[in-house]
Structure 1
C-alpha cells in the first residue's frame, strides 16, 4: 500500500481519538478527586498535629505566617500572626519588606524566649521561601539593627545544606543595606531593642530535620523555630493516598469561603461530611459566622493621638464614637451634607487604587477644613478590608498634616520624597500589623504627594 492508502497496516498506525480523550479526562478527574476539599481538610488536620508536636517539644508559642499558617494552628493555640512573603525570598529578589515590618512578634519572642513561625508550601519543596530565606533575612536585619555589639548573631542563618553558597553570599551582601533603610525610618530603635530583649537564633522544623539537640531556649538569645507543616511530596497527589502537601495554600481557589477559624470551630462536622455536600455546609457556616461576627475596634495610629484606621465592619452604629469619618468605599451621595463624614466611593482592587488617587484632593480639603479648627477631633479612616485603601488615605493625611512627633501642624507645603513617605507608612504598619497597602495604592499616594505643591 502507498502512503495514500486509507487503511492502517500496523498497530502503531491505529488512532483512537475517543480513547485518548477518555484517558485524559480520566486522569484529570482523578487529579481533581485527589485535590478534593475533603482531602485538603484531612491533610491540614494531619499537618496540624505535627505543628503541635513541635510546639510541645520546644515549649514555644505558635505564630502563623499568614495566610497559609493559620490553617495548621487551632485558634486557642495561636499566639499571633506574621506576614513574611515568599516572594521576598525568591532567587534574585531577596528583600526586607517595609510594608510588613512584623514588629508585633518582638514582644511575643521576648516574653516566651522565642516563638514557632508556622507556614507550608505546595508539592515538591521542603519548605517555603518565606522560611528558608525571607525570615532569615529579617532576623539578620533585626539582630544587626537592634544588637550591633552582638556580632555572633549578625550573619544570616540559613537552613543546613539547603541553599547554594552563591545564593547565600548574595543574600548576605544585601543585609547592611536593609539595616540602613530600617534605621532611616526613624523608629524607636531602643524601644524595639527592649521589645525583643535578646538577639534571635534560628532552628528549623520539618519532616527532614527536626529537634536539633544543640538548640533550645537559651539565656543569650530568643529561639525562632521555622516550622514547615507539610510532608514533602515528590510525586503526584494521587500517589499519596489523598494526602496533599501544603493543603492550606491558595485557599481562595478551593475553600468555598471557608476560613481557618470556621474550620477549627466545625472541624468534626466538616470532616464527616460527604464531598458533594461540603460547599453548601461551608456556605451555611460562613453565613452563621457573618451574623455572629462583631467588628473589631479601630486602631489608633501612633504617635498621633487622634487618627484611627479600621475595616468598614468596625464602623460604630451610633455614629458618635469618632468626630470625623472618611470611608473610602461608601457611596459619596450618602455623605453629602454631612459635616462629619466623607465618602470617597472607591472601587475594589486596582480600580480602587486609581479611584483613590483621584479622591485625595477631597481628603486633603476635608481634613484641612475640619482639623485646622480643632486638631483634637478624632478621625477614623476606613475601607472594606481596613488594610489597603484606608491605609493609603491615612498615609496621605500623615504626610500632609502631621509632624515627626505625630502632632497636627496644618497643611505642609514642602516637597516630599519616597523616604519621607516610607517613614510615615511605618507608623501605620507598626500600629496595625495586618495593614498591607497594595503596590497600586502606594503608587497612587506617592504620585499625589510627590507632585510639586500648588498650595
Structure 2
C-alpha cells in the first residue's frame, strides 16, 4: 500500500523527521509530474491523481519514486535562476534607474537652490546634475553596529549645507524598505554628533571670542554673538518613526562617546561653527511621501538647516512589471546597487551621455550597445594615456571589441561619443550657478567639490588644539593654484588627484614633479625622468603588499624633491585611494609631530594608529573625495610601524 493510499484512508503513519517529510513530499509531486508526462506522450486524457499510480507499471512506479526526484529538483532550480536573471537584466536595471531619476528630478526642482548630492556609490546613478558626492555607509547604522566613523566625517556636506541653507542627498535600497540604513540611522547620528560638538565649541568660543571671526554677513556683533551662543540650539537625536524606541535609546547612550571621538580626532570644526547658523536636521522623502505643491516649505523659515534624504527607489520587495509606449520591463528597486554585478563596465557618466540611445531601442539590443560604448570609452582613454582596464565578465573572458568597432587606433578615429571636452579646455565647475540645471553643469555626473571656493587655509588652522601649534608651511612650495582635479594639502607642496590631470597642458605651471602611483602610468611629452616617477601600485584587493613594497621608493623621491623646495603631484587612477595613502605616508614620514618638514630620518618616532587617523582627517579636509580603502591604510601603518 502506497503512502498516498495511507493518507487517503487516514491510517496511522510513523512519525518522520523534517527531512524525510520533505523527501516524501517531493516524491509525491515528482510522481504526479511523471504521470502527466506519460499521459501526454500517449495522447490520453489527464488522469485523476487518486488513480494515477494504478496506471503505472512497477518499473515506472520505481522510477517515479526513486532517483529522478533530485534530477527534477535541479532543473526547477535552474528555471528559477533563469527567471531571476531575466528580471534583473541590464536593460531592466537601466530602465529602473531612469524611472527613479524622474522622481529625483522632481524633488530637486522643489528646492532648486539646494545642492544635490549623491551618496556613493549607488546614489550616483540617479541624476546627471549632482553638485557633489558624499559617503555614508549603511553598515554604520545597522542594528547593533551603530557607529560614528571619524575617518568618514563628510564635513564638506555640513559646510555645504551651511553655505547653501541645506542640501539634498540621494540614495536607494534594494531590500524593499523605504530608506536604506544610511538614511534611517547613519545620517541622523552624524547630524546629531555634529550638532553636539558644535554646541560645545560655540560655548568655548564665546568664552574666548578672539578665536572666532564674525562672518561678513553678520555685521552686528550682538547678532553674531547671539548666533554663536544660541540657547535653542537643537542637540537632540531625530530618527524616523519606524526606528524602535529600544534602538533609539541604545543609540542615544553612545552619542556622548562619539562626540568625544569627534573632538579628539583632530578635525577642525571652527570654520563650520562660523558658517552654520542653525543646527543640522534630517528630513526623509520617498516615493510614498505626500508633498502638497502649494505648501512647499521655505528652508529659510525653518529653525534648522534641512538635509533632505531622498530615497530614489520604490519600496517594493520584488520586481514589478511595467510598460511604456513601446516596451514592457521589470522594475527593480535600488537597481543601481552593487554595480559590479550588472553594469558590465558601464559608468554613471557614460550612461547619462547615452541614456536615450540605450533605452529607446528596447531590451533586445541593450547589451550589445553597452558593450560598444564601454569598449569605445576604454580605447578612447587608453589612446590618451589614461587608465583604461579591460572589462572582464563573470566567465573570466575579457570583453571583446564589438564587430562594428575596428581595433586599435583606427577604432578611436571612428568614435561618435558626442562632444568630448578635453580636461585642459574644460570650464571651471565652481563658477556655475547653483540654479543651473543644464546639461553643461556637470560633464562627469559629479563635479569637483565647491567647498574649495574659499582660499585654502594654512595647515596649522586645521589641526586641533590638542596638538601643538604647528605649521606645515613649505618655504618654497607653490601656491595652491586652482586647477580642476588637483587638491593641494595646505602649503606643504603636496597635491593629490587623478591621473587624468596629467593631461592638462598647464600642469607644469603649478607643479614641479609628478609621482604617478597608478597601475599603468601615463604618457606625456613633457615628462622627465628626473622630475617624475611612476610606481605601478595596484589595489589591496589584487595585491595586499603592493603599496607597502613601493612606499620606500615613493618616500625617498618625495623627501629629495621637498628638500629642494619642489612641489609634488601624487596621482592614481581615481585620486581617492592609493594616491591618498601615499600622500599620507609622506606626511607622516617627512613631517615631524610639530608639523614641520624634516629632512632627516624619523626612525625614532613612534607613530600610533590615532596619529595616522588624525593625519588622514587632516588630509581629507583638503580633499573631500579621499576614500582610502582599509587594506591600503593597513599597509601604510605596517610600513610606518616597521620603521620604528
TM band (smaller chain) = 0.7 to 0.9
- How far apart, CA to CA, are the structure 2 residues paired with 1:324 and 1:174? 46
**1:102 CA displacement:** 1.4
Equivalent of 1:415, from 594, 606, 611?
Answer: 606
Mind listing any 5+ residue stretches in structure 1 that lack a counterpart?
none
Q: Relative to 1, partners in 2 of residues 1:9 and 1:427: Cα closer, same or farther, differing over 3 Å? A: closer
Q: Relative to 1, partners in 2 of residues 1:405 and 1:42: Cα closer, same or farther, differing over 3 Å? A: farther
Q: Relative to 1, partners in 2 of residues 1:64 and 1:317: Cα closer, same or farther, differing over 3 Å? A: closer
**1:338 CA displacement:** 3.0
1:370 aligns with 2:561: yes
Q: Relative to 1, partners in 2 of residues 1:419 and 1:13: Cα closer, same or farther, differing over 3 Å? A: closer
Give deviations 1:143-162, integer Å, cap 9, x for gaps: 111233666521221111x1
Give deviations 1:346-386, integer Å, cap 9, x for gaps: 233334451211222222322223322x2x31111122222
- How far apart, CA to CA, are the structure 1 residues paired with 2:352 and 2:519? 33
Superposed, which structure 2 residues align to 1:369-388 within 5 Å? Answer: 369-372=560-563, 374=564, 376-388=565-577
1:432 aligns with 2:623: yes
1:266 aligns with 2:354: yes
Deviates more, 1:98-107 or 1:280-289: 280-289
Q: Which residue of 2 aligns with 1:34?
A: 87
Equivalent of 1:72, from 121, 126, 139?
Answer: 126
Q: Which residue of 2 aligns with 1:155?
A: 236
**1:452 CA displacement:** 5.5
**RMSD of Structure 2 on Structure 1 (CA):** 3.3
- How far apart, CA to CA, are the structure 2 residues paired with 1:312 and 1:157? 42
Q: Relative to 1, partners in 2 of residues 1:330 and 1:339: Cα closer, same or farther, differing over 3 Å? A: farther
Equivalent of 2:367, from 258, 279, 283?
Answer: 279
1:190 aligns with 2:381: no
- How far apart, CA to CA, are the structure 2 residues paired with 1:10 and 1:352? 53
- How far apart, CA to CA, are the structure 2 residues paired with 1:89 and 1:31? 29
Larger Rg: 2
Q: Which residue of 2 aligns with 1:393?
A: 582
1:223 aligns with 2:306: yes
Mind listing any 5+ residue stretches in structure 2 that lack a counterpart?
4-57, 204-230, 323-328, 381-419, 424-482
Q: Which residue of 1 aligns with 2:179?
A: 127
Q: Relative to 1, partners in 2 of residues 1:63 and 1:304: Cα closer, same or farther, differing over 3 Å? A: same
Equivalent of 1:176, from 256, 273, 276?
Answer: 256
Q: How many pairs does the alignment contain?
A: 445
Deviates more, 1:84-93 or 1:314-323: 314-323
Give deviations 1:54-88, integer Å, cap 9, x for gaps: 2233443321111111221232xx22211111111
**1:198 CA displacement:** 2.5
- How far apart, CA to CA, are the structure 1 residues paired with 2:485 and 2:597? 20
Partner SS, residue 179 of structure 2: coil
- How far apart, CA to CA, are the structure 1 residues paired with 2:79 and 2:266? 60
- How far apart, CA to CA, are the structure 1 residues paired with 2:492 and 2:62? 87
Superposed, which structure 2 residues align to 1:297-376 within 5 Å? Answer: 297-316=484-503, 320-321=508-509, 322-329=511-518, 338-372=529-563, 374=564, 376=565
| More relative contact order, 1 or 2 (CA 8 Å, 6+ apart) | 1
**1:293 CA displacement:** 6.7
Query: Conserved in 2, the CA contact under 8 Å of 1:66 and 1:83?
Result: yes
Query: Conserved in 2, the CA contact under 8 Å of 1:113 and 1:221?
Result: no
Q: Relative to 1, partners in 2 of residues 1:311 and 1:56: Cα closer, same or farther, differing over 3 Å? A: closer
Superposed, which structure 2 residues align to 1:232-251 within 5 Å? Answer: 232-234=315-317, 236-237=318-319, 242-251=330-339
- How far apart, CA to CA, are the structure 2 residues paired with 1:136 and 1:24? 42
Q: Relative to 1, partners in 2 of residues 1:131 and 1:82: Cα closer, same or farther, differing over 3 Å? A: same
Query: Conserved in 2, the CA contact under 8 Å of 1:100 and 1:433?
Result: no
**1:188 CA displacement:** 2.7
